[in-house]
Amino acid sequence: AALFSGTAIPCNAAAKAVGTGKYIALTFDDGPSVYTEQLLDILDKYNAKATFFVTGNSEYRSLIGEAYRRGHAIGVHTYCHEYNKIYASEDAFYEDFFAMQEVIKEQTGEYTNLYRFPGGSSNTISNFNKGIISRLAQQLTDMGYYYFDWNVISGDAGDTTKTSVVKQNVIDGCSGFKYPVVLQHDIKGFSVAAVEDILIWGHDNGYVFSALSETSPSAHHTIS
């Protein structure tokens, strides 16, 4: 697959960072799923915007468009989420990447310039192909894409299955950053169930919940 030579269009002009104020960027990976519509309703209730790094789940992919229409940012995560396939080569990576871009274009009418590496840029799962993340990170940046990791971990990816723990992990994590970027997964019902309390806490403490954009402060890990 050839490298994309076009210009990526920002996914939603309304999904801009708040500037110099305190904000929290809630980000949700691996969806959409059966829980995504419930999550969108919770976010609407508190006028909160989030970022969805999406996959090629055909059963719920219409919710990519729904999230976009409600003012949230959409980013590429991966079409297949198979690490050995995605990181086998640069060609394999871009085949997956642009397959997901086409799904996003189909659902939103636009390509996105936001991306999150499967496993994050610091993942070690890709080490069977030495240096591939460094090469891809530079290539994506050169092509006008913005990749985001996270600096607050909810723990919903294997550390806990308890809503109360997810809530406390996010609150404790956000308290330590002016620009927290939170990792959650909208394929996990127990994690989605924590969002309303997180929103209430954030609003009570002067945060605005904003979607990521190309103007957002970066949250980059150290590439392995």
The model's pLDDT over 204-218, given as tens digits with 9 standing for 90+, comes to 999 999 999 999 998
Residues 6+ apart with CB under 8 A from 208: 18, 21, 22, 23, 24
For range 100-108, the mean pLDDT: 98
Contact 74, 108 (CB under 8 A): yes
Tokens of 146: 């913005």
Going by their DSSP bridges, the two strands 181-185 and 73-78 should be labelled as: unpaired
Q: Is 58 helix (H, G, I), strand (E, B) or coil?
A: coil
pLDDT at 12 over 80: no
For range 78-95, the mean pLDDT: 97
For range 12-28, the mean pLDDT: 63
Contact 71, 13 (CB under 8 A): no
pTM of the model: 0.91
